Amino acid sequence: MSNSNTVGQVIRCRAAVAWEAGKPLVIEEVEVAPPQTNEVRLKILYTSLCHTDVYFWEAKGQNPLFPRIYGHEAGGIVESVGEGVTDLKAGDHVLPVFTGECKDCAHCKSEESNMCDLLRINTDRGVMLSDGKSRFSIKGKPIYHFVGTSTFSEYTVVHVGCLAKINPLAPLDKVCVLSCGISTGLGATLNVAKPKKGSTVAVFGLGAVGLAAAEGQRISGASRIIGVDLNSSRFEEAKKFGVTEFVNPKDHKKPVQEVIAELTNGGVDRSIECTGNVEAMISAFECVHDGWGVAVLVGVPHKEAVFKTHPVNFLNERTLKGTFFGNYKPRTDIPSVVEKYMNNELELEKFITHKVPFSEINKAFDYMLKGEGLRCIIHMEE
């Protein structure tokens, strides 16, 4: 892959640039500088659109930072490495991840945490850590990075700690979805909720992340998987992910946690909340069975959000947990999630509902804004 004539040189390539909030991306020729210390330059082969990209592109509640290259769910091949990079080389297959693993901080050294001090997600930073500069430019004018990945470009530069080196036989057009949303939902189940075989579980929110949580429950051998969503049109699709029954809170007068408790003889063994809605968080917690029930929060609420519940819900031996990126450490753990797919334990094809060429990337935004499908794969080679 390492084209010796590009190593150490600026690469000119296509990137989809967001010039301003909410305006369609424009395919531009950008210059991509060589990787600096602890950085890697990679060729992106496939990228996919995640709701987080859309959220920051709309820039309604965040610091707007433009022009910017979005994108963080992707698969690619290392083109060259900067100084100090020893565990990756040209030609390696990698998944870039919006959070990282430096392997040195207290979080990385802890078996329990994946929230690296150095590389955890920072949505406000538009530059590289080593020198505070961008590696992208157009005619000398810097274009900002997004969550350290910026995969809506044929080449990008990423900190080595944000790259999972994966099996080169794994099809990048499928496993690229593991670099964000699918791992988040899957890990919430497998690493945090940990349902036992035969468990009864509930999932709140049946988008890609919620369905990945359901997929984890299917893999775990749950006997009943109750899907909760305000959009009943999502129910048919969810059956492919192991969801066995459905509850739409709008169809009931009483709170949905009471509906679920009645359906399950006192509550579910595990619940996973994937909407970020405070009401859903309370419902997810209050619908688990006393004595052993565990609820896991995945969805990200708005900054001012608070919720309340009666402390007796905890005293009656219910547990409430939160998770970030499914508690996976990107470099250490994601390669084994790819192997689950390679061993046919985990199904990924059903998450991929659309495919578009890079020149039509704005179509992917349209699908997501209309709520159509789950994941749209954008292939860079036209």
The DSSP symbol for 189 reads I
The single residue of 105, 125, 244, 258 carrying the catalytic annotation is 105
Structure tokens belonging to residue 55: 């959220």
Residues 208 and 185 sit within 8 Å (Cβ to Cβ) = yes
The single residue of 14, 37, 51, 360 carrying the catalytic annotation is 51
Work out the angle at residue 328's Cα, subtended by the Cα atoms of residues 79 and 136, and round it to the nearest 5 degrees. 35
Tokens 């920051």 belong to 56
The single residue of 93, 224, 331, 375 carrying the catalytic annotation is 375
DSSP codes joined into one string, 227-248: EE-S-GGGHHHHGGGT--EEE-
52 is catalytic: yes
Residues 69 and 25 sit within 8 Å (Cβ to Cβ) = no
108 is catalytic: yes
The DSSP symbol for 352 reads E
The single residue of 6, 52, 189, 323 carrying the catalytic annotation is 52
Structure tokens belonging to residue 158: 């990423």
The single residue of 39, 73, 101, 273 carrying the catalytic annotation is 73
Structure tokens belonging to residue 58: 């709309």
376 is catalytic: no
72 is catalytic: yes
The single residue of 149, 156, 162, 180 carrying the catalytic annotation is 180
- Residue closest to 225 by CA, chosen among 207, 244, 206, 208: 244
The single residue of 93, 108, 270, 376 carrying the catalytic annotation is 108
The single residue of 41, 116, 135, 270 carrying the catalytic annotation is 116
The single residue of 93, 107, 120, 218 carrying the catalytic annotation is 120
51 is catalytic: yes
**Cα-Cα-Cα-Cα dihedral sign, residues 245, 250, 251, 257:** positive
Cα(100)–Cα(328) distance, rounded to whole angstroms?
10
176 is catalytic: no
Residues 264 and 201 sit within 8 Å (Cβ to Cβ) = no
Q: Residue 93, SS3?
A: strand
The single residue of 6, 39, 41, 72 carrying the catalytic annotation is 72
The DSSP symbol for 37 reads T
Structure tokens belonging to residue 171: 């099809």
* Active site amino acids: 50-52, 72-73, 102, 105, 108, 116, 120, 180, 375
